[in-house]
Each structure stands twice: as structure tokens, then as C-alpha cells.
Chains A and B, each alone.
Chain A
Amino acid sequence: MHNILQVRDLKTHFETRNGTVKAVDGVSVEVNRGDTLGIVGESGCGKTVLALSVMRLIPEPPGRIVSGTIMFDGIDLLSLDKEEMRKLRGREISMIFQEPMNSLNPVLKIGDQVAEAIGLHQGLSKKDSLERALEMLQLVGMPSAKERLKNYPHQMSGGMRQRVMIAMALSCNPRLMLADEPTTALDVTIQAQIIDLINAMKEKVGTSVILITHDLGVIAEAAQYAAVMYAGKVVEYCGVSDLFSNPLHPYTEGLMESTPNIGEIPDDKEKRLTVIPGTVPNLYSLPEGCSFQERCPSVMEICRKREPELKEKVPGHQVRCWKQE
């Protein structure tokens, strides 16, 4: 089989007092073995809920995976019971989060935290687990790793904590790692180190990666494929070079134009950025037709009536837009 993960028509909804929020609404994506799939979008587009659905970490209630399949290396994750999923999680599929401070236990030493997962999943003794934890910390480039084993999270910088998270996530050689905004809380020079680290670890450990970010630059540097999400749906899905050389969805184009780029510092300071007008629609009451209609510069009559489907426009390049029909 070519792909390690195949998500088909996934719908994850949340029941709230104000109605149903369709956080993920019919998403289909795949991750090829050894590749990185980037998922881009702004807050509330459903990118984190997609990742949590794959991890089966959606709080139920209020959340519910309504329909769809998540095939992981031939296993339907949605058919597994809690115990089976728990065995997979951390060993076969792992996740790193945006805030390395909030995801580490503040009262446990770093070494013990990394060793915990190793002991649990690989059945190693405490001593051997610690040994392996040290190896992992060295692998992710932790300076003076041996002394660091005895440190608590508050004694480390943000970049080092993120290295610990990555060491933990990769300690059982998982086949898939989900990284949710892993560099957003970090400074640029540290972000560059962590992106290089994720790319290098992917080579060394052979893990496939889903990289969730709002930063198109990060996607360009680390991913092979990208899915752009808007209001719970994938609106564009293709190889990374196609995405940047030939963006087909007006939302993707808007995102690219509205990001100030250091390669294109304008001569004229008065120059304004091209913006996407308005704000992300309310997920409680999405408009009929295309979710992006209110903000779209090339909206047509049909966009207000019927929702476009995600269709292959050019081979390997899918887009959800009436303009491209």
C-alpha cells in the first residue's frame, strides 16, 4: 500500500447550546509513506479537530465523529475500541502540540517523562527506558542531554521543550506523527532549527508527518503535499510546488497575497497589502452555497446557491471552486 493514512469523508461535529458546529465537514486527505502533508488554514478552520479526530482524542460529548473512515496502514481507526486505540497512540501515531509548556508535566523530570512512554509501549525496564530517553534527547540535538534528563520543564527554553516533545513523540519510532503548529510559539531562529529537526528526523526515523500550520512559509519548507482548509472543508489540495506556482482557489491566493514577504519589500512604503475582506464565517450559520462567497473577489451567482465540490482540475490538483469548473 502506498499511503500510511487515508481519511475519507470525515465529519466531526460538535453539539453546542447554539446548535451544531460542523468543525470538520467531509474531509478526505491522504499521507504517503515518508511524506509530509501540510494542512493550512486560519483559526477555526478545523485543522486541529482533524488531527484530534485521527488521534481519536475528540472529547465526546460534545464532539462526535459523525461519519467517514480513517484508515491507518490498513486498520480502520474508527472501528477500534478505547484500549486498542490507546496501544496505537504514542507507539504508532504520535502528536506534538503548539505549546510545549502546557503539554509537559511541570512536576516531572524531563527524563522520566520521555521514559514513561517508552516503558509503557516497549515494555522496557525503568533503567533501559531512561537509557533510550537519553538516546532520543541526543538524537534531537539537546545540548548536554545527560544533565538535562534531571531538569524540570520550567528550567528549559521554549525551543528545548519542543525538542523534548519531539523526542517523546518519536521515541517509539511511530509510523505517523501529527505536529499541530509546532513552531508557532517559537522565535524565528528557533523555528528554523525545529523545522530542520522535523525534516531530519523524518529521514532518520522514517516517520510520515502531518504538519498543521497557519504559516505558508513553513509549508513550503517542510511539506510535499498541502491541503488548504476553510470553514471545516478542504478547498484546495495538491503538491506543494503546484500550490505556490499555481494556486487555484481565491482563498489560497488571498492568503498568499496578504502575507508580507521579506523577499518582496516594496519600494513604496505607502503600498498597502492586498487583503481578504471580512472575517471567517460563523460556523453556526454557514451561508448557503460556498462558505467563502462573502469574502471572494470573484463571486458569481451560482456560488450563493450551490456548494462547489472538491474536483481535480489538473492531474493531482484538487480545488473546490465554481470559477474552476
Chain B
Amino acid sequence: MNDLLLDIRGLKKYFIIRSGFLSGRRSVVKAIDGVDLQIFKGETLGLVGESGCGKTTLGRIVSRLEEPTSGAILFNDENVLLYGGEQLKNFRRNVQLIFQDPYSSLNPRMSAGAIVGESLGIHNILKGKEREERVAKLMEVVGLNREQLGRYPHEFSGGQRQRIGIARALALNPSLVIADEPVSALDVSIQAQILNLLKDLQAEFDLTYLFISHDLGVVGHMSDRIAVMYLGKIVEMTDRKSLYKTPYHPYTKALLAAVPVPNPSVKREKTVLKGDIPSPINPPSGCAFHPRCPFRMDICDTIEPELLDKGGGHLAACHLSN
């Protein structure tokens, strides 16, 4: 459990946006702005945040679908950002993605069997009968049956399609699986089935998960440790128990308070955050959360708080608790 699998250091990703026709005005979106993150073998690291906080970009960079502006990503102690060619191909065998939308992430013109087996062909792993057998096995592992191999995505329900996406991710025996909102497009009853499947697969194949979601209930149920992101930065990170019991950061508290509780006798605390998430084009100075923060102090306007240990490995970036 304590072996480091992935070590992200000082990761930044800036997107340049040209606004205005011909004027050539350029502005910078700081999608990821200095993220340090460690993922250990066999654990599930949950990454929560609202839309636009950079969580998806982080997942895409880790899988090298996107190149960062600066920083390093060490996978088994090697900086994967320096990889190219054969090395990169090998790395991608080890890191696989599960996507949010089971409708748009499967090629509608390929059969389920072809989708799941495609990567085996690309990496030249198994051939002919053996590959067929492996694909059929994978289908069964994710709870589909081998008779469905010849069917096309439109013949499956949303939950079944997500199972195909999971089988595809598992085909190459990866060590790290990045699941980007894997259940948000699914109905409640199907969501629970997929979450259980992900847990079973983790135990069976020794998988490590980077589990990205906006749903605090789902993340709490799935993760060992949880990192909360706001405007491209991690503002709090700790094990799941203390995140829900003793949240430090006012943003985490507000997120937790905003989740509707399925119990009418519990009245939600009205610390409803005012305003919207600021644009990452011109993020607020100092602590990026200060315009929405109910506990703002003068220092928050100018000086950005660091992510510090508040005791017992509970990290938070907030002046209030310093």
C-alpha cells in the first residue's frame, strides 16, 4: 500500500486563448496551476471539484493525452513526460482511461468485441483464437456475456456500454486506471452496479484508481484518499474519513453543505456559496476562493495560501487554519 506508483510534481497546464478577431489579444487559462499529487499502489485517489476546476485536464495529462506546460510526472520513478515512441507506447499499456459518456466514447461502427480487443491488436499481444478468448473473458469479467461480442454499441444500454468501456480499459492489464466521472451519466440504480464492479475489479486485478468525480457521495464511497480541487489547484487533501468528518477548507465545507441530504428531517446548513466559480482566465488574486469565502480575511486578497499539513497528514491551503 505504501509503494509510490505515481508522483506528480509542480504540474502546470496553461491554455492560450486568442480572443477577438484579428486583434490577436491573448489570454491565458490556468487550467492546472501547480499541482503536487502522489498515488500509491493499490489505492483509490478521489479527485473532486466543480466544473472547470481542472480535474479532467489533470487526468488527461497523467495519461499523456495532453502535454503539460511544466512539471514532472514520475511513474515507477521515471519521468514519463520524457517518454516517446516505444517507451510511451509501453507506458500507455499501464495507464488506461474510463470516460464519462458511454455513448460518445465508443465507436458506433465497431462491435463490442472489436472495441475491447482493439488495444490487444495495437500492442500485438495476442492473436487469433487466443485474442478472441481473452476478449470473451473480459466481457464476462465486467458482467456481459460472450454472445454479445458481435453486437454494436447502440444495441446496449448505458450501463452495459460503460461495462464495455471498462473491459476495454482492462484489456492490457493496466496498473493505473483513470476513471473520469465514470457513473455521472448513469441512472442511480445502474450507478451502484458500476461502482460495485469497479471495486470488485480493483481487488481482483490489483488496480490503482485515480477516480475523478463531482459527486462527493460517490467519491467518499470509492476512495482511500481524496483531493479537492478549485480553479486548477488542490485546496485540501486527506484520507476520506477526515475529509467528511473534519473538513478544513471553507470550500470543502461549502461543497459538503451543498449536497442535498436524502432526509427531510435534517435541515441543510445554509452556508450556500454566493456567486459562480470565477473564470480561470483571470483568477482572483491571493487565495482564488476569497471572493466566495464566508471567512475571508485581508491576507486572503493578496497572499496565496500554501497547501500545508494541518496535522496527521491532513493537507489544506487556507490562511484561516494557519
Q: Mark A266-277, 1 if CB is under 8 A from B, else 0.
A: 110111111111
Which of chain B's residues have a CB closer than 8 A to the CB of A254? 189
Which of chain A's residues have a CB closer than 8 A to the CB of B268? 192, 221
CB closest chain-A residue, reference B44: A269
Nearest-Cβ distance from residue B69 to partner chain A, whole angstroms: 26
Q: B276: which of A157, A221, A244, A269 is its contact (CB, 8 Å)? A: A157
Question: A188–B264 contact, CB under 8 A?
Answer: no
A49 to B191, CA, bound (A): 23
Of the candidates A241, A262, A267, the one having the most CB atoms from chain B within 10 angstroms of its own CB is: A262
Which of chain A's residues have a CB closer than 8 A to the CB of B222? 269
Which of chain A's residues have a CB closer than 8 A to the CB of B157? 279
Which of chain A's residues have a CB closer than 8 A to the CB of B272? 189, 192-193, 196
A295 to B266, CA, bound (A): 30
Question: A244–B273 contact, CB under 8 A?
Answer: no
Question: A259–B259 contact, CB under 8 A?
Answer: no
Which of chain B's residues have a CB closer than 8 A to the CB of A143? 275
Question: B191–A258 contact, CB under 8 A?
Answer: yes
Q: Mark B199-217, 1 if CB is under 8 A from A, else 0.
A: 1100100000000001111
Interface size counted on chain A using CB atoms at 8 A = 52
Q: A160-B276, A188-B258, A221-B260 are in contact. Are A267 and B189 (CB under 8 A)?
A: no
Which of chain B's residues have a CB closer than 8 A to the CB of A217? 259-262
A245 to B265, CA, bound (A): 9
Q: Mark B216-233, 1 if CB is under 8 A from A, else 0.
A: 111011111000000000
Q: Is A64 an interface residue (CB 8 A)?
A: no
A93 to B256, CA, bound (A): 34
Which of chain A's residues have a CB closer than 8 A to the CB of B195? 260, 273
B109-133: which residues lie under 8 A (CB-CB) from chain A?
none
CB closest chain-B residue, reference A213: B260
Interface size counted on chain B using CB atoms at 8 A = 51
Question: A265–B189 contact, CB under 8 A?
Answer: no
A192 to B267, CA, bound (A): 13
Q: A189-B258, A191-B260 are in contact. Are A265 and B276 (CB under 8 A)?
A: no
Question: A272–B216 contact, CB under 8 A?
Answer: no
Which of chain B's residues have a CB closer than 8 A to the CB of A190? 50, 276
Nearest-Cβ distance from residue B210 to partner chain A, whole angstroms: 16
Q: Is A76 an interface residue (CB 8 A)?
A: no
A274 to B191, CA, bound (A): 11
Question: B260–A279 contact, CB under 8 A?
Answer: no
Question: B189–A262 contact, CB under 8 A?
Answer: no
Q: Mark A157-182, 1 if CB is under 8 A from B, else 0.
A: 11110000000000000000000000
Question: A262–B188 contact, CB under 8 A?
Answer: no
Q: B192: which of A159, A258, A270 is its contact (CB, 8 Å)? A: A258
Nearest-Cβ distance from residue A142 to partner chain B, whole angstroms: 11
Nearest-Cβ distance from residue B117 to partner chain A, whole angstroms: 25
Nearest-Cβ distance from residue A250 to partner chain B, whole angstroms: 12
CB closest chain-A residue, reference B221: A260
Question: B262–A270 contact, CB under 8 A?
Answer: no
CB closest chain-B residue, reference A197: B272
A266 to B256, CA, bound (A): 16
Which of chain B's residues have a CB closer than 8 A to the CB of A316? none
A210-233: which residues lie under 8 A (CB-CB) from chain B?
214-221
Which of chain A's residues have a CB closer than 8 A to the CB of B244? 262, 265
Q: A189-B273, A244-B262, A265-B240 are in contact. Are A214 and B187 (CB under 8 A)?
A: yes
Q: Is B196 an interface residue (CB 8 A)?
A: yes
Q: Is A43 an interface residue (CB 8 A)?
A: yes
Question: A189–B255 contact, CB under 8 A?
Answer: yes
A280 to B149, CA, bound (A): 22
A259 to B244, CA, bound (A): 17
Which of chain B's residues have a CB closer than 8 A to the CB of A273? 192, 195-196, 221
Question: B262–A262 contact, CB under 8 A?
Answer: no
CB closest chain-B residue, reference A255: B188
A240 to B218, CA, bound (A): 24
Of the candidates B157, B188, B222, the one having the most CB atoms from chain A within 10 angstroms of its own CB is: B188
Q: Is B241 an interface residue (CB 8 A)?
A: yes
Which of chain A's residues have a CB closer than 8 A to the CB of B193? 275, 277
Q: A196-B272, A260-B195 are in contact. Are A276 and B189 (CB under 8 A)?
A: yes
Question: B261–A263 contact, CB under 8 A?
Answer: yes
Q: Mark B258-299, 1 if CB is under 8 A from A, else 0.
A: 111111111010101111110000000000000000000000
Of the candidates B200, B240, B256, B273, the one having the most CB atoms from chain A within 10 angstroms of its own CB is: B273
Q: A260-B195, A273-B192 are in contact. Are A187 and B260 (CB under 8 A)?
A: no
Question: A188–B192 contact, CB under 8 A?
Answer: no
Q: Is A42 an interface residue (CB 8 A)?
A: yes
Which of chain A's residues have a CB closer than 8 A to the CB of B191? 258
A258 to B262, CA, bound (A): 12
Which of chain B's residues have a CB closer than 8 A to the CB of A43? 187
Q: A188: which of B188, B199, B255, B263 is its contact (CB, 8 Å)? A: B255
Nearest-Cβ distance from residue B145 to partner chain A, whole angstroms: 14
Q: Is A261 an interface residue (CB 8 A)?
A: yes
Which of chain A's residues have a CB closer than 8 A to the CB of B260? 191-192, 195, 215, 217-218, 220-221
A240 to B232, CA, bound (A): 39
12 further interface pairs, Cβ-Cβ under 8 Å (given A189-B50, A193-B274)? A189-B272, A219-B262, A220-B263, A244-B264, A244-B265, A258-B188, A259-B192, A260-B217, A267-B241, A274-B192, A275-B189, A295-B189
Q: Which residues of A contact B (CB under 8 A)?
A: 42-43, 143, 157-160, 187-193, 195-196, 214-221, 240-241, 244-245, 254-256, 258-263, 265-267, 269-277, 279-280, 295
Contacts A/B (CB < 8 Å), 8 sampled = A43-B187, A188-B50, A191-B258, A221-B264, A244-B263, A260-B192, A274-B192, A295-B189
Closest 7 CB pairs of A and B: A217-B260, A258-B192, A192-B258, A260-B217, A260-B221, A187-B50, A42-B187
